Structure 1
Amino acid sequence: MQHIATAAGVTRGAIYWHFDDKGALFNAMMERATLPFECSLATQKDDDEVVALDDLRSMMLDIFRVTEQDPKARRVFEIASLKVEFVSELDAVRVRRSQSKQEWMDFVEKRIRLGIKGGQIRADVDPHVQALGLWSLMDGLIRTWMFEPDSFSLLEVGRQVVDTLLDGIRAQRAK
């Protein structure tokens, strides 16, 4: 709390005047923030006319782009992912992350089902397993990048990894 007060140019007492504790302050910050995963869902169209693989690729690359290029989004994601203990006063963060993940998973599973139905994605692909794999890939790559952001370009490496993974579930074209 002292670090926050110093950065804001106020006393700790002023912080406590507005927030009961660290949890209340953190929850207020999270209410005003949009995480990159949530941002990507907000920009997607929910119609059956999309090209599933192109849509998934675009959404995932947008998450990497926002994380790498938007300092505010990156900072909030870093705090919410790497610098918080999911203790009782901050349980709202865990709940929000879980909800965000579930919404993203549901959306991606729907896209994969559309891709299977449209013949873009192999029929033997399990939508839930692939959605979980894509979530884990993105979450893990972002976390790895956040520890050493100068070690690689999140967007460029993300593009290569996403393209490889999506090629692996792509239906074979007739020769």
Structure 2
Amino acid sequence: MPKRTKAEAEATRETLLDAAETVFLVRGVSKTSLEQIARQAGMTRGAVYWHFKNKADLFHAMVERVKMPLRQLLDDVEDPERPQAPLESLRLATLHALERLQRPRSRRVHTILLHCCEASSDVDTLALQHQLAEECFATMMEHFSIAQRQGMLVTGIEPEIACRMLMAMFGGLMHDWLRDPERYDIADVGPRMINTYFDRLVQDAA
């Protein structure tokens, strides 16, 4: 393969990832081959292997472009100069995640991850989903535990239950909306669900 500049190599990599999004969305992950992705990108399979070890490597890189680690979302909404209550930080981070989900690329990749990942020997998508959920759970637990110690969490709700309720609500919202985005406006419904949830968590806190 001719020597290319770093910018050209990165542009080729991005084109292949764009092509993977398109083909995965139409055919599903298990039924998509690297040859089909290469054709969609107008390249050879050799170009795919130049950038990615295999389909799993390509799939993980595609997800990485839109990955929404809660820790990063919290960093985006928190101001070190003006510390916020832990529940408020979580509320803002969840709203931020919802906003990012609606961006075209994020919407496509999350649709693939949640609705186009049949059982496949090439890509262990369940393991990836489990990893992402566990990372999110650990960060949420930190904030809910702090809220409880500070007397900000509603009486009778344990941090673990509050955490699992939030994950179930947001995960369910993602699954439902991505299955048929035209049924309702998530930009309207989503924030109302999230704000209602957090309002209930702090309604009788000191």
TM-score (norm 2): 0.69
What displacement does 1:173 show?
5.7
Q: Residue 43 of structure 1: which of 73, 91, 95 is its match?
A: 73
- Whether 1:108 aligns to 2:140 is yes
CA contact (8 A) 1:5 1:11 kept: yes
- C-alpha RMSD over aligned residues: 2.7
* Structure 2 runs not aligned, ≥5 long: 1-32
TM-score (norm 1): 0.79
Give the distance between the partners of 1:117 and 1:123, measured in 2 at CA. 12
The amino acid of 1:64's aligned partner reads L
| Aligned pairs for 1:15-164 within 5 A | 15=48, 22-30=55-63, 32-36=64-68, 38=69, 40-45=70-75, 49-68=83-102, 70-91=103-124, 93-164=125-196
Structure 1 171/118 Cα, relative in aligned 2: closer, same or farther at 3 Å?
farther
Give the secondary-structure state (helix, strand or coil) at the position aligned to 1:4: helix
Give the secondary-structure state (helix, strand or coil) at the position aligned to 1:125: coil
The amino acid of 1:41's aligned partner reads R
Structure 1 8/118 Cα, relative in aligned 2: closer, same or farther at 3 Å?
same
Structure 1 120/17 Cα, relative in aligned 2: closer, same or farther at 3 Å?
closer
Aligned residues: 168
What displacement does 1:18 show?
6.2
Structure (1 or 2) with the larger CA radius of gyration:
2
Identity %: 26
What displacement does 1:25 show?
3.5
What displacement does 1:155 show?
2.8
Q: What's 2:198 paired with?
A: 166
